[in-house]
Structure 1
Amino acid sequence: MGCRTIVTFLALTLASGATAAAIPATLPPSRAKQNVTVIPSFNVSDFTASAIVLSHRDFYRFDVIFCKDHPPVHCEALGTTLSEELGSIPQTRCGDSSEVSFKWTRYQDGTSDLLIMREVVAAFTGEDRVITDEAVYTVPSNDTPRLGPGKLQHMVYAGPENFSVPALRFEVCRDETDD
């Protein structure tokens, strides 16, 4: 079923009121045109992250493999932190890849999310789609302890170095009104 077909079906269904209980009355336009599919997990290896003692900097480094037949993509970022913690990192491109990026978000409760994104370039005859693969790895607060004595205390990632992250493919149809 094509992306436009799904959007048309959804619009007709909403107009008929047949699924009023299942779908919110005010569905955002971007969500109304989005398909989500489960895809193979992203495999992360050699993950390391740490605040650098007395430098107000933190770093994140890892490799990610999307398919066993392809080489890993190297990701890394250097951030600024005034509290020797692993702070949030904005979306950052990985290595030489313009398609792969990651983002680290630290929450007030001490947990963090590692979001890995891959833009899938695809051309479809007669249809305009934006396809993105995404995986989110949630890091519990006990995997980011503070180490070192006194003023040398700094936060480090102490969780697994290698892990698989379930991934989803988001496919968004663009129509003429989105331009």
Structure 2
Amino acid sequence: MQSCGYVPVPLNGEDYIELLPERWQAINAYGIRIKHRTYDDHELNPLRRQHSGVMEKKGLWEIHHDPYDISQIWVRDRHHNRWITVFWKHLHRVGVPFGEMAWDHARDQVPGGTEEQIADAADALLRRAHDGPSPEEARPAKRSRRDRRVAARTRATTHGRPVPEPPAAEPAHDDETDTDLAKVVPLGLFDPLANPWRRP
């Protein structure tokens, strides 16, 4: 430590949780609610409607959440010095993980909707994002006169025309007769101590 200032150490799971954004909330009978999402687990039963012991935060519980994955949150249990992983109640409704941005967008699409309706809207949004636009959505609503004329001419000229046969496969070449081989250029060895800015 005195010679280099710090020792790089890989983070473990608890270090990752510690670095996530935190919020302080009560644990109610239904669980924990964050942005119209309910998180609940049987491990919260002894903590429901209880004081956390942190007087500076008025007895609220420390909760860490990942804004890029809303599927779970972590509650710090100071009595047993551990983290409790609590999953979203409607996680089964959406097949892929997503973040706060997709949730907020789906919530805007269903103003005043229930948690289940917002979850279904988020699932539909993620499916559309994965599948891409449908042919009806990709086609412009109203085409210009020129576009319609080009499409009509294309249909008229291709109607009744025989479909061309695919080209026949070329015969395999013998190795002895193939003289059009490329010249092999060997690569030089990489020298990590060489100056990369020096011109050869």
| TM-score interval, smaller chain | under 0.3
Q: TM-score, normalised by structure 2?
A: 0.24
Q: TM-score, normalised by structure 1?
A: 0.25
Structure with the higher fraction of residues in helix conformation: 2
Compare relative contact order (CA 8 Å, sep 6+) and give the higher one, 1 or 2: 1
Structure with the higher fraction of residues in strand conformation: 1
Bigger radius of gyration, 1 or 2? 2
